[in-house]
């Protein structure tokens, strides 16, 4: 009995001792934290600006991590300023660009940023209806706009080109290749869409400034603008019958929300917060950002992808005028980014890039139908749809993390139903760092860029696959000896491909899609850092 008592008393002593040892071992394992470096007020403000412009998109405004890693001080203080500055300057194997080696940041700026991310993140201010209304400008009211196109140009073959660093949009006549006009937009303008009628162009800047251009005016002119938040990346319009050109919607990064605007005036009508809980761990997250948005053609709805939550929202706007918005919340996968329709426009395929997956949302039956593992960091842009001769209808996505395009079967009924939502083929491209892919229903070619590849040869070329012979390697064409090559777009006829040379002295390279020969280069001092380009007809009808 005495012996038993001895052992019973020994247990807690043993446990306490053990906890002490494991705690000490843990402490020994945990890397020592660096002291928080000093930064002057001015430098802190400067670093905040650089972080916003170059880093926040991937790492999050609150630095909790998304496409990029968490940059909270518990992580960053485990490294020295010199080590962090080196990573910022040189980039990483994981796909982060070398901001110094690509000529964007100096050594001093990389070091400043390194110190900045060792401080606690500061949340940007909120942005309420009052703030939005104060920035809303109705420059040309609807009754002062033309009642018919005031010029004879072919609007359906216009291309609106993003001039990123100029914060402008170039509007180019696709028939004559003339720059019709250049209009101001938001800071580091990110993307754009058209109203369903094709008359209005809606743009969104990184600073969440939305603008609206009337393509009927001669020359096209900005008719309204509004700042819907502090930071944003996506915009679209209402594309369902009865609601053409009625609403626009902006997906904000900060404050995490979407904002519904009047489609004729950009007057802000409704702000809906997206803050809340992640779909899987059900943890509260203060920065659930809106990534890609598409407008359904089959229902009065937008498909909005809430990045950090891993939730796809179907937002029904049909009763907005009665004060009702209906949200269907679909669990998808964490870190949703970009995506597009399958060719029937029933299924929306969206990349959860940090999970190496593409999620398939059925917008008719209103559910997730598949989560497809494709490869390292899929980045479809809006993707590409075509018929693989062997496997039937497919949706294609390039990858940031490997030189590969994955083809996913998209026909759950009929001859190819066994292929639905499976990777049926992988095509090897000339480089990793793939951002965009494009084809056209009238084309036999599939164009892929490798904009963020490490090798110069790769980021200055495109890979072109013959859709009729997908077993053959791609034709690789080097297009430049400076800058990077990014984003392809077809003309309305589907026989020309427009590609951007992304550089301070930018160019638009126009290819004959049949001969794969360069047709012309559009050069002009106003073409500063062109990135995305959007043909009115193809964008309006989601042809890709
Ligand atoms: Fe984009 C689309 C976000 C970096 C050019 N980009 C998108 C979309 C999102 C997004 C959510 C989808 C919009 C939609 O379909 O509704 N992009 C982000 C980022 O968060 C990220 C990774 C980092 C950042 O800080 O912005 C980022 N994007 C870039 C670039 O570096 C690019 C190449 C140049 C730039 O503007 O900085 C770039 N993104 C584009 C383009 C599109 C786009 C051209 C539209 C493609 C299309 O065909 O629809």
Q: How high is the pLDDT of residue 17?
A: 47
- Mean pLDDT estimate for the chain: 94
Does 6 score more than 90 pLDDT?
Answer: no
For 395-414, the pLDDT digits (tens) are 999 999 999 999 999 999 99
Confidence of residue 31 (pLDDT cuts 50, 70, 90): confident
Taking residues 484-504, report their average pLDDT. Answer: 98
Does 22 score more than 70 pLDDT?
Answer: no
Dist CA 184 CA 222 (whole Å): 8
Comparison of pLDDT for 111 and 95, the residue scoring more: 111
Which of 53, 55, 57 to mutate to test ligand 1, by most ligand atoms within 8 A of the CB atom? Answer: 57
For 347-367, the pLDDT digits (tens) are 999 999 999 999 999 999 999
Q: How high is the pLDDT of residue 103?
A: 85
- Ligand 1 centroid – CA 393 distance (Å): 26
Taking residues 488-512, report their average pLDDT. Answer: 98
For 261-274, the pLDDT digits (tens) are 999 999 999 999 99
Q: How high is the pLDDT of residue 25?
A: 56
Does the Cβ of 535 fall within 6 Å of ligand 1?
no
Confidence of residue 102 (pLDDT cuts 50, 70, 90): confident
- Cα–Cα nearest to 340, from 287, 374, 377, 295: 295
Does the Cβ of 461 fall within 6 Å of ligand 1?
no
Q: How high is the pLDDT of residue 97?
A: 84
For 226-241, the pLDDT digits (tens) are 999 999 999 999 999 9
Selected catalytic residue, list 55, 72, 132, 488: 55
Q: How high is the pLDDT of residue 12?
A: 46
Domains and CATH numbers, the chain: 41-116 (1.10.760.10)
Give yes or no: 450 in active site.
no
Give yes or no: 379 in active site.
yes
Instruction: Give the chain's end-to-end CA distance (angstroms, integer).
Output: 82
Q: How high is the pLDDT of residue 67?
A: 84
- Ligand 1 centroid – CA 25 distance (Å): 44
**Backbone dihedral region for residue 60 (phi beyond 0: left; psi -120 to 50: alpha; all else: beta):** left
Confidence of residue 32 (pLDDT cuts 50, 70, 90): confident
Contact predicate 204/212, CB 8 Å: no
Task: Give, to the nearest 10 degrees, the angle between helix 41-50 and helix 107-116.
Answer: 100
Q: How high is the pLDDT of residue 36?
A: 95
Q: How high is the pLDDT of residue 14?
A: 44
Selected catalytic residue, list 379, 399, 450, 487: 379
Dist CA 68 CA 311 (whole Å): 19
Does the Cβ of 489 fall within 6 Å of ligand 1?
no
For 142-167, the pLDDT digits (tens) are 999 999 999 999 999 999 999 999 99
Does 16 score more than 60 pLDDT?
Answer: no
Does 188 score more than 70 pLDDT?
Answer: yes
Confidence of residue 342 (pLDDT cuts 50, 70, 90): very high
Q: Between the CA of residue 326 and those of 194, 271, 302, 303, 438, what are the distances in Å?
A: 24, 14, 11, 12, 33
Dist CA 135 CA 175 (whole Å): 36
Does the Cβ of 190 fall within 6 Å of ligand 1?
yes
């Amino acid at each position: 009995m005495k012996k038993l008592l001895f052992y019973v008393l020994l247990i807690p002593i043993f446990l306490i001792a053990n906890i002490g040892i494991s705690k000490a071992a843990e402490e020994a394992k945990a890397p020592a934290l660096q002291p928080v470096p000093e930064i002057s007020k001015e430098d802190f403000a400067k670093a905040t600006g650089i972080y916003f412009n170059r880093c926040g998109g991937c790492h999050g405004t609150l630095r909790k991590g998304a496409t990029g890693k968490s940059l909270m001080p518990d992580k960053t203080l485990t490294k020295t300023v010199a080590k962090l500055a080196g990573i910022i300057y040189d980039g990483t194997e994981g796909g982060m660009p070398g901001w110094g080696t690509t000529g964007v940041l100096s050594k001093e700026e990389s070091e400043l940023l390194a110190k900045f991310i060792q401080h606690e993140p500061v949340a940007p201010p909120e942005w309420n209806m009052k703030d939005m209304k104060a920035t809303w400008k109705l420059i040309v009211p609807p009754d002062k706009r033309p009642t018919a196109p005031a010029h004879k140009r072919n609007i359906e073959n216009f291309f609106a080109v993003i001039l990123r660093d100029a914060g402008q949009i170039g509007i180019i006549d696709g028939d004559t290749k003339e720059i019709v006009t250049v209009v101001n937009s938001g800071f580091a303008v990110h993307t754009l869409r058209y109203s369903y009628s094709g008359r209005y162009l809606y743009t969104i800047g990184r600073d969440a400034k939305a603008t609206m251009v009337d393509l009927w005016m001669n020359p096209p002119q900005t008719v309204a603008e509004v700042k819907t938040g502090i930071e944003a990346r996506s915009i679209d319009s209402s594309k369902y019958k009865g609601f053409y050109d009625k609403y626009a919607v902006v997906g904000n990064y900060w404050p995490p929300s979407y904002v519904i605007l009047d489609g004729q005036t950009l007057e802000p009508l409704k702000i809906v917060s997206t803050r809340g809980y992640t779909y899987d761990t059900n943890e509260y997250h203060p920065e659930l950002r809106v990534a890609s948005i598409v407008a359904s053609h089959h229902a009065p709805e937008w498909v909005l992808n809430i990045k950090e939550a891993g939730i796809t929202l179907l937002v029904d706007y049909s009763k907005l005028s009665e004060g009702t918005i209906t949200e269907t919340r679909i669990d998808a996968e964490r870190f949703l980014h970009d995506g597009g329709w399958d060719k029937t426009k029933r299924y929306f395929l969206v990349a959860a890039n940090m999970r190496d997956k593409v999620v398939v949302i059925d917008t008719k039956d209103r559910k997730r139908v598949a989560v497809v593992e494709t490869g390292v960091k899929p980045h479809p842009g809006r993707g590409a749809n075509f018929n693989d001769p062997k496997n039937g209808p497919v949706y294609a996505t390039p990858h940031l993390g490997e030189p590969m395009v994955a083809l996913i079967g998209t026909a759950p009924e009929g001859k190819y139903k066994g292929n639905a939502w499976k990777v049926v083929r992988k095509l090897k491209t000339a480089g990793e760092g793939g951002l965009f892919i494009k084809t056209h229903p009238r084309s036999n070619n599939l164009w892929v860029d490798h904009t963020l590849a490490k090798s110069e040869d790769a980021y200055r070329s495109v890979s072109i696959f013959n859709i009729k012979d997908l077993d053959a390697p791609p034709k690789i064409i080097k297009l430049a000896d400076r800058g990077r090559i990014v984003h392809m777009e077809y003309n309305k006829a589907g026989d020309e491909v427009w590609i951007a040379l992304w550089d301070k002295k930018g160019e638009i390279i126009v290819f004959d899609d049949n001969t794969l020969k360069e047709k012309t280069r559009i050069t002009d001092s106003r073409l500063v850092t062109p990135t995305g380009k959007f043909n009115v007809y193809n964008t309006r009808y989601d042809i890709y």
